[in-house]
Amino acid sequence: MEDEEESLSTSNPNQPNSDSDSETLDPALQKKHASMLERLANRHQTRLDSSLTRRSAESDSSSSPSFESTSSFLSHFADSKSSIEAQLAQCRLTPTSESAELKTRLDGISSSISDLEKFVAEKSYFLPSYEVRSSLKVISDLKQSLDSLSSELIPKKKFSFKNKAVKKNPVIDSKKEEEKEKAVEKIGKPEKIGFAIRESPGFRNKTGEVLVSQIKGSEVGEFTISDLDSCEVRLLGCIRVLFIHRLRNCKVYVGPVMGSILIEEVEGSVFVMASHQIRIHNAKASDFYLRVRSRPIIEDSSSVRFAPYCLSYEGIDGDLKEASLIEETGNWANVDDFRWLRAVQSPNWSILPENDRVGTVEITNSDS
């Protein structure tokens, strides 16, 4: 039918084409001819609209895939930051006396900050290093603002005694004070890591021990490893953020980290870890076996060597898949030294020779 209509639409030298001649045509033939022209015009317009729509869709999908450009990332990040800041302001301006409701609101803000941190970690592989650092600084500031707001709205209860005062015994009070100081020394004081004070779960102030933690279902948000000497650390399972501070002659074996790993002041140690982003400050004579989505960052470090991730434990494949780290990116060998601005290779880091690498490291949740 389409061929018939198109053949009818072509000019026929024997067909009358003047106004006077068209008046002599059969009215039924004129009506058929007009109807045919209308159908051809509609079909042409439909084809044109379809072509334009297809080209537009192809252009949109090829030029700006979801969050795969710096501009789209910054736009989404700015919107999320503004939303979190608005929630913080609303809590401060319209506080509630209901503790349960207040806790729900603060937990919601904390969840939003965690989601934003995860978003940065997931997209850091294509972002410029400056944007990654700036974004992490903003997230740290948001966390600090939330901590300040929580302390302001939910102050710690102060104990007071309304009953008759009891005469104090100086000897007993002195013993209690000593016990309190020992307890503080045992668990370790909060230390300044990165941008903020960290009081997260972790291992602190140990010497010559095997420290093991089995983490299930990403139940731990932040984990801190600090002030260890000659220790072996094993973390099995997924965590969101890991902080490592002041380690000497240690071995650290870590399952997948869904966000970032921040390392400061380590020496003579071995690290086997997988993460979306890894930043290393003030490291000396240490080896890093990594799987990382973005390029590892070192700063103020020397004699550090890098090799691919080589950890194994029961269930690690599922944990790597959950953390979106199942694939090897090869970025362990693409290290950025922020203190080395020349075009030639930085002398502060190198690829660990294969003959010097450890084999597959298998760990368990026991300390043997």
Among residues 248, 237, 238, 241, the alpha carbon closest in space to that of 283 is found at 248
Lookup: tokens for 336: 């950025």
Partners of residue 279 on adjacent β-strands: 262, 297
pTM of the model: 0.51
Distance of CA 122 to the CA centre of its chain: 4
Q: Which residues of the chain have pLDDT under 70?
A: 1-34, 37-68, 95-98, 122, 124-125, 129, 155-199, 217-220, 367-368
For the residues of 232-244, what is the DSSP string, one character each?
A: EEEEES-BSEEEE
Q: What pLDDT is attached to residue 333?
A: 93
| 210 three-class SS | strand
What superfamily does domain 70-153 belong to in CATH?
Answer: Tubulin Binding Cofactor C, N-terminal domain (1.20.58.1250)
Inter-axis angle of helices 70-93 and 129-153, to 10 degrees?
A: 10
Q: What pLDDT is attached to residue 156?
A: 54
Q: What pLDDT is attached to residue 325?
A: 93
Among residues 118, 44, 22, 40, the alpha carbon closest in space to that of 77 is found at 118
Lookup: tokens for 29: 């033939």
Lookup: tokens for 270: 């071995």
What is the CATH code of the structural domain delimited by 200-362? Answer: 2.160.20.70
Distances (CA, A) of 180 to 94, 177, 187: 38, 5, 11
Q: What pLDDT is attached to residue 288?
A: 97
Q: What pLDDT is attached to residue 93?
A: 76
Sequence-distant (6+) residues with CB within 8 A of 303 are 284, 285, 286, 348
Alpha helices in the chain (DSSP H): 2-9, 19-22, 27-63, 70-93, 99-123, 129-153, 170-187, 316-322
Residue with tokens 């690290």: 271
Lookup: tokens for 26: 């059969």
